[in-house]
Structure 1
Amino acid sequence: MTVPGRRSSTFTRLIRHGFTDPATAERLLDEEALEPVRHDPVLLDALGATADPDLALRGLVRLAEAQEDTARRQEFLRTLVSAKPLRDRLLGVLGASEALADHLARHPGDWHALLTYEAADLHPGVAEFEHHLAGADDPDALRVAYRRCLLSISARDVCGTTDVAETAAELADLATATLRAALAIARRAAPEDAAQCRLAVIAMGKCGGHELNYVSDVDVIFVGEAVEGAEGADEAKAMRAATRLASHLMRICSDTTVEGTIWPVDANLRPEGRNGPLVRTLSSHVAYYQRWAKTWEFQALLKARPVAGDLSLGEEYVQALAPMVWQAAERENFVPDVQKMRRRVVDNIPAGQVDRELKLGPGGLRDVEFAVQLLQLVHGRSDASLHSGTTLEALRALAAGGYVGRADAAQLDEAYRFLRTMEHRIQLHRLRRTHLVPTDEADLRRLGRSLGLRGEPVTELQQAWRRYASVVRRLHEKLFYRPLLDAVAQLAPGEARLSPRAAGQRLQALGYADPVGALRHLEALSSGVTRKAAIQRTLLPVLLGWFADSADPDAGLLGFRKVSDALGKTPWYLRLLRDEGAAAENLARVLSAGRLAPDLLLRAPEAVAILGDPKGLTPRTREHLEQEVLAAVGRADGAEAAVAAARGVRRRELFRTTAADIIGSYGTEESPAESDPGALVDRVGQAVTGLNAATIAGALRAAVRAQWGDELPTRFAVIGMGRFGGHELAYGSDADVLFVHEPREGVDEQEAARAANRIVTEMRRLLQLPTSDPPLLIDADLRPEGRSGPLVRSLKSYEAYYRRWSLVWESQALLRAEPMAGDPDLGRRFIELIDPLRYPVEGLGDDAVREIRRLKARMESERMPRGADPTLHTKLGRGGLSDVEWTVQLLQMRHGWAEPGLRTTRTREALRAAHAAGLIPTEEAQTLDDAWVLASRVRNGVMLVRGRAGDTFPSDGRELAAMGRYLGYDEGHVGDMLDDYRRITRRARAVMEDLFYGS
């Protein structure tokens, strides 16, 4: 008897042996059921060696109590303590699997199954499992027999008799035997159906690949044929009979009874998935895969294997489809399709589970499997040694053939084995289908101990898991691209490497249209033993993946070579890309998104430093830019040099803006894509407007200094109009302006006018000097009298004109007027002059409204370019920029006098104010805003992709694909992009017709 307050020696020994609840364990050891062995030290040592000694002891007590009588219990316990193999296997299972302990408590004689296998190297196959299932002539008997076999497999697993690959193969063999037994039961239940058809069961997924989990859906495809010569043979009847047999087989395996379930049989990988017939003839399968199958369906067929039913028919199926499988890599968008499917899987993981996902999360099992399968499909066309459905076998073959570096393959093999073992042990506990790492401390402790981590099991487990997941993440991209570098760098003689043909095949499959050119660039960048080449070999595997993820990988790689050639001897360049996490990915995205940003960068390669600065992509304010430009102009020697300096600032800032726009649209690993397209448009409009205003201010200062020093005979201001005044410039927009001056005191008006005209002439000359930069064109056609009127007027002349001659369209144009450069006081007084015109008191009269509507209708009929699709023209087309802006501007002119919020030059701001004032219902306001934002983004995207302005989608396939990526559409979905544009703008046109025309 234990003295109260003291711990017994047993209690202390239990703690030392790894029990976490020694008090309960001590009580259980005192149970009558264990009386013959409770003091046997061998038992305690064996319990302490299990993954969870407390769980093992509870299971042992239940199993002992479940024996039919005292004699059988004593026989069981004597055998247990005397036979070490049985003791290790049984207690190992009880300490790892509560579900199998439940099975043993229901079927207490099944412990004898663990006496069967004595030899450490005995690995049963399908025939042995079929033998053990042979007596199961009904579904429940099959379930019990299946669990008995599972007991043996798990015993070999937890004791280390089999490794994880062998365990997975045994589970697949047991599944094969079970499918055969279930089909036999179904045939006996319906002999007339069995007589009418041949039915083959094709294993897919992990069962087909001989790498099954403890608990997993068993993926299958059914193939049927009519029995030749059978009485009344008819294909339709045979397919109905085969479908009944297949359905019965599925129910036998999938149904849950008091004996539990075996596993769900999943036939959704069949042609057309759930919508397709459960059973098809071989010719129907072939026809589907020839005409309709998607890339992922051929990827799934890598693991197809006949397992049950008519095996000769199953072999015919595999042989008929194999050529199509190994031609899948030649399909258009092959790699993007595969990678897109992988991304979709990750995106569908609930946010709170990503960090616990062992299978689907980043660095998980699926990353290894997808990478291996992709390389198999690319190179298996010409190398039959890669035709394996088993991941680790295929990985070894890839390494042997030089398609994967041997060191990388070894690391990946080790990581995959560890992660699969974790997955097995997690599922084994309750025999539930899960890939989530548990969070409970006791579960983690058991899991860690089951993997041999006995010091600090929880801590060691977390560290090992994160380490191996990190290895997988790092190698996932490297696996595709490192061998390409080895093929051209030739630094490892004696190591198998990709042949030029294989390297070209891989690049082509990855989306490179010119694999020969790509290999030439890789060789130029990475060959040699210099430090520069070594850093490039570190960077390029990841960069190549990012290029391949774009619409134009070749352009990205070419741009990177050019930038590297320009900056290769600059010590900070490669160091920046290597050490600053975001810089390399940002550069890859920018270089492969189109022509504009790379062109800007190649004219000023040092601007790549912007991509490594955490704040580098934040646009500078107009005030900051103007100060920098004016300072540069002040230091310059001459007007032309001054404007060149201002253009240099503009070039750098335009690159900053394009880079921020691209990265905000595409997203990177560290910075996901911007979720608000309107914010991207506003940011671009504000940034381009600011830097153009600063450049014009610089040109103005240069023009004045060249002729008058610092004192001009007349005050001078530049008024922004149109999108310039509205802070809504696109990359390729002209800057609409008005020029206004006011003679200084004592200066003759004619002299002041001559000075003002000379300023405008010189400004325009300076801004039009030949340059390779994107042009900054200033357009003064919105001035009074248009092109017929003087380029510049005095404030007094504007006042006289507007008082006597102003037309309604000119008042409408003045809605966007805002001072942009020059004398701020003069600019302010110009705005005071025009406010009564653009926001007339009591609003517009009916005649003015009719005139605006007439002008709009005339513009629609006369200004649309010949041959342009009016449903896709962003400016003048249906529901485009013009429709939205004229609708908003009519509201501003009618109600701006009474609603202060409408007195703004910005379209979206005025639209929000109109909604707030109750002038536009919520849904209609949102429709107009969506259309305006989308049309603006398309215009920006066209300039980014093509390097020149345009008002409609490009026709070139690659450019159209790049537009799709910019707008957030996956590869191959440009049709959806065009359909969405038409749908959104069609709705906007309907709103415009209602609000603007009053129809």
Structure 2
Amino acid sequence: MFSLEKIPAELHHTVNLHLQNFTQSVQALNLKFPENKQVKSTLPSIFCCSEFIAQTCTRQPSFLFELIDSGDLFNADVRLTYQQQLNQQMIANDAELMKFLRQFRNKQMLRIAWRDLAGWSDLAETLADLTELAESCIQYALDYLYKQACIRRGTPVLSDGTAQNLVVLGMGKLGAWELNYSSDIDLIFAYQQDGVLADRKETSYGEFFSRICRSLVKVLDEITADGFVFRTDIRLRPFGDSGPIIMTFDGLENYYQTQAREWERYAMVKVRPVAGDPLGGEKFMQLIKPFVYRRYLDYGAFEELRSLKIQITQELQRKDRMDNVKLGPGGIREIEFIGQAFQLIRGGQDVDLQERRIQLILQLLGEKVLLLPEDAEQLLSAYKFLRRVENHIQEYQDKQAHDLPKKPQQQAILAFSMGYDNWPRFKIELDKVREQVHRIFVLVFSIAEEQSKPSVSTEIWTGQADEDIILNKLGEIGYRKAEEVFSLLNNFKTSSAIKRLTSKGAMVLDKLMPQIIDAVAQVKNPCITLKRLCALFEALAGRNVYLSLLAENNKALQQMIKLVAASPWISEYLAKYPILFDELLDTRSLYEPLEKAALQQQLAELLAQIDPTDIEQLMFGLHKFKHLNVLRIAAADIMGAAPLMVVSDYLTYIAEVILEQAVQIAWRILTEKYGTLPDTSIENTHFAIIGFGKLGGIELSYSSDLDLVFVFDYPDSNALTDGGKKIGSSQFYATLGQRVRSLLNTQMLSGLLYEIDLRLRPSGESGLLVAPINRYEQYLKEEAWTWEHQALVRARFVAGDTQIQAKFAAIRQRILSLPRVETELKAEVRAMREKMRKTLDKSNKEVFYLKQGVGGITDIEFIVQFCVLAWAEKYPSLTDFTDNMRILDTLAEKNLLNAEAVTTLKQAYCLFRNRGHKEALQGNKAVVAQDELVDIRQQVAQWWQEIMQ
């Protein structure tokens, strides 16, 4: 009936035995073998290659016959119907569930192995089939267990009232859609939100889901008379065997950010939701991405992978398991390590590499020339070959084996299953493949140790010589203050922060510091720069990934030294906000501050990831956004990549975008509590923020506060909100203003978002926090002082309801254009300037204050303000702009000031402000020595006398 013609003669006896047992079983059950030539021609070879198939067909010949009759054995797409087939079965209890799933699994495993060994499926189909089978079984079992648990105890819900299921996360090959034939499945369980059920025992959600998880593992993993479904391993969860079987998303996020070990990050490259709540699964993937993928080139991961591979290799050598096709030299794990290294190092920058499937990763590495294309092709071919070998080893007895067989008969079976005449020919090809893989692996992971003599800077850092010798060596490499540097390094090494470093952190620092010592010796201010770097590294102690990047990437290190040498502000800013270190090392965007539209998009996306009811986290998001983008501007400023006017523009854009979001956040908080007023919405708030001073003039500096006035334009003073707790329109807008102020100037660990000054509102500190806009115009016209009109010169709409923008612009234009007696105005402006000078000008014989000194910034601003107030009635275009430079240009165009005066005032204004910026980046006040900028100061003072006296 069956031909053994294609089977090696030494295997005939084994095959005949299997065929005899199978035939007897079919006859005993009065079954008839289907007339199918394909099956008959392949059956002897399949029985030869797989004891598992032969024994399964003998015990349950109906499995094979059903697969033949249904056509499933010949259909490559059966996996698409797994869930449908499962759902057709009605289950009465856990015992029935376990029996049915095991029989379903065995039947499908028979089909998958048959198609593979017969050559009817390729590797991609086999891996996809196995993965889909596991997912379908997990989902089917979970659906049953969850439904039964809800019937018994009630249904857990999210905060919005929708039902909450747990999320099953697949790790390793299951997560990557690459499950091998007899693989176990690595699972982690999670659920979104904690809570308590309404049952009599007030069961916590944690206990509810824990019971389901334990039952699910039992259903899948327990060995019964029918075998098992999938060996299930849950030891990859946080804290391993000692940890809870399931955790909330918050718990997982906290663990991975604060306690997870490096290997857990590598494991998360392949994580994927495989069952349970699909929306919850999507949320988890967004949550875990920042932990897995760094925004910069992560060279620290390279060292970690290298170290881990060395450990594995050493262990294999000790256990004499070099014939392991997975873990041995040139095995599957080495190929995966190569792909994983590039993913972890570059995946944060190159989203294409955030892929789970190793075959696609290898293709991408070749296409992007991160590997030589021929090497990538070789690795891909080797991976397919080795995975087929692995599957055939496991299909033989359905055992989780990776070692090449030792017995001659089993060697002959494996060689035959792979299409080779005999074992020696197969082994030659296998060894060739593994040698090629290992060659590429060694090339990628340059494991060779440096045998050279330690460098001079290494000896200095490690203290491998007497103090006198080290002092001489410091002098030799360029340090003039050798004793000061020696003391600085010793204090740094013995600081509490450095003493607390892990052994890994200390190793990284030992690699980094000699490079620092060498590089810093070449800058203009080496001792000062080294002191700044030591202070920064103390703040970064424990964040090994940042130090690793600097140690492995000379370009990033040189950039860091260059910036820190140029500005103490940079090092202090980073020490205060270490989270910004990512930004500093991202050279793509560091010197390219964002335009306003890009800033708006960035902040909106950042806040969209935060729970809108979590005010503290929203405030933290605003702080992070500001610090990140101010750092970009400072770096561009220090390196000369951004001129003064552009720096002020960008700093102003940041403030405007934050104010826009602050209004929206405050609006949502308020309307959630009180409801909305008639005809209002978040797009039509009838509320606006007016910016004065440097904000209004688009001239912000690094330390500027914000001069603000809040106004509203709502027509009905008697209107009430529509919420459960109703309030009137005046109280509503007053409370809205308070909320905005609170968002901006609440003290957090990272300080204040902005210092804000609201004293320019009507009647100052005694006036309403938020003024009706019509009342505001009346105040400006009838009650305001001249200095308040001066301030209005640099006032403009900056955030809120855009319908108010045009209305305020018209009010400003009318007030600035009021008729004034020029001599009286000049006297008032002059008197106010002298009053300010007496109070605020701290200039003395040694130093000159750029802002308040005679001939300084404020003198120029007062000249401009006087000119606008004096002549806007006749020359309305003087009210078109709020910044001093363009107003001065308009004064020149109208011949109201002569060209020489305008040129001098503009030149001085830019020079003083630019110097102020530079002093701020050096950590200094905006002052210069009295013998600096003397000529230009005198020229401004002369123009003050000519124009204002």
Q: TM-score, normalised by structure 1?
A: 0.43
TM-score, length of structure 2 as denominator length: 0.45
